[in-house]
Every structure is written in C-alpha cells, then in structure tokens.
Amino acid sequence: GLKGALSLLARTQRDIFIFYRFGQRHPSPSPDKKMATTLLAFTALFTTLASANANLYELSGVDIDGNNVSFSQYKGNVSLVVNVATFWGTTVANYQALATLQRKYAKQPVMFFLFPCNQFLSQEPDANSVIKTFAEKYLTLGEGSKVLMLSKTNVNKNLFGKRCTSTDGCLPSSKDCCEANNAVYDYLQTEVSGKCDWNFNKYPIAKTGVPSGKRYGDSVVAPALSTDIDALLEAANLPKEQVVVQ
C-alpha cells in the first residue's frame, strides 16, 4: 500500500543521503558519482509512482461527530463522494436522490461519503452538529447505514475561501472546516479533471478506491448515478475517462 511505499522511499532517501555525505568526505571516481545520480533519479521516480498508486481507501478523515475514520475498512465497496450544502436551491432534490440510492443499495457494497462544504456562497454555514441534524431528515446515518458524513470541508484550495487549517474545525460544535479532511479532495482533483464547481458535485469511486474519472454536477441525481454505480459494481475498475456531467 501507499504507507509501505512511502516507508521504503524514506529508507531509500536516507541511504542516498548517507552515500552522498560519505562521497563528500571521501572523493570517489566518476562511476560512483553516476551511481549517486542514478539513485537520486530512482527515488524521484519512486516518489511519483507512490503518489500515483494512492487511492481513496488509503486515506482517512474525521466524521461529523469528530471521530477519526480510516477509509481502509471500506475497500471493496463502490463509493460516491459528494460535497453537500443545506441552503442551495437543489439541496432537497439532492438529498432525496441520495436517500433513494441509500435504500436501493442498502444490501450491496456501496458507500456514500458526504462532505459538508461552505465554500459556495456560504450555503453550509452551520456547525457540524446542526448539519448532521438536517441530513438526518433525509438519510440514515451511523453504523451500518452505508453513509459516512464527514466534518465540514473545503473542497477547493483557492475558491471562495481559504484552505482548511483549523484542527478545531473537526469538532461537532465547530462552524469552521476540518484540516484533517483536506487530503480527500486533494487526491480526487489529481485524478479527475477540474475543481468542484459547486455544491453536490459527485465522484463515483471504484471498488479499488480509484475514481472512475467522472464528476457529476448538482443537477444529476439518482438515475444517472445508478447507471454508474451498477457498472462499477460489475467491475474491479473502469477505464478512466475525463468526463464532467452537469
């Protein structure tokens, strides 16, 4: 996994550093310098490969109740990642669609990751605990529900607001966003074209934790999403397509 790869990378970099310092104190022939250059090139390549092999299920976050959650327990599920907001024009339609999907896939390996976000015209301004209460009008949350609601998150680094930097934002009473959840959308936006452009963007995720490559906008609800989820249930992963559907 990614952790093992990064551990190996750290050991490799340490050995290269020792090799390099030794070479400084004890000048060596040209072939050894070439070896050092080769090793440095290798570690740069290894860093790129380790990053490229990441997936959603190697990440973690903080849920709406302030609990740390490792996503590794959801590996093998098809997932849908959605940034939600309480006060947008299509909020009710999107929550109703999510409720339909939750019921439809209740007995299948499908997970829903919901990230409240206040970046778009401040339409998710309340504390995490208030957001959770609103969501529970439409969805069943908690253990066994197949819906994981995370603490409030900024999904874009520089769009209508600063990046999350507050650890206090992970608390149920907080109206700020949670720094611990930054990695999820950092990862998604390296794998899928473009930033989240508004509330209720939806990323289908394959069983392996790799995005399908599609990103749906807020107007896309249950039927189209069901088609993608069904396809991902049939396969370990689909070939990545850079598709944005509004």
Helix (H) or strand (E) holding 51: helix 30-52
Instruction: Tell me if 197 sits within 8 A of 159, measured CB to CB.
Output: no
pLDDT at 160: 52
Bridge partners, 114 (sequence order)? 82, 149
pLDDT for 246 equals 36
CA 120 to mean position of chain CA atoms: 19
- Max alpha carbon distance in the chain (Å)? 72
Give the pLDDT of residue 166. 73
* Residue 221: partners with Cβ closer than 8 Å, 6 or more residues away: 93, 94, 96, 97
The first and second tokens of residue 98, run together, are 């999510």
Tell me the pTM: 0.75
Q: How far apart are the first and last CA of the chain?
A: 34
Residuewise pLDDT in 10s, the chain (246 residues): 444 444 444 454 444 444 444 444 445 444 454 454 444 444 334 433 344 448 999 999 999 999 999 999 999 999 999 999 999 999 999 999 999 999 999 999 999 999 999 999 999 999 999 999 999 999 999 989 999 999 999 998 765 556 787 778 899 999 999 999 999 999 999 999 888 999 999 999 999 999 999 999 999 887 889 999 999 999 854 444 443 443
Closest CA to 201 of 141, 134, 114, 101: 114
> What does the pLDDT look like over 38-75, one tens digit per residue?
444 443 344 333 444 489 999 999 999 999 999 999 99
Q: Give the span between the Cα atoms of 128 and 25, in whole angstroms.
A: 57
Q: Give the pLDDT confidence score for residue 162 in this predicted structure.
A: 60
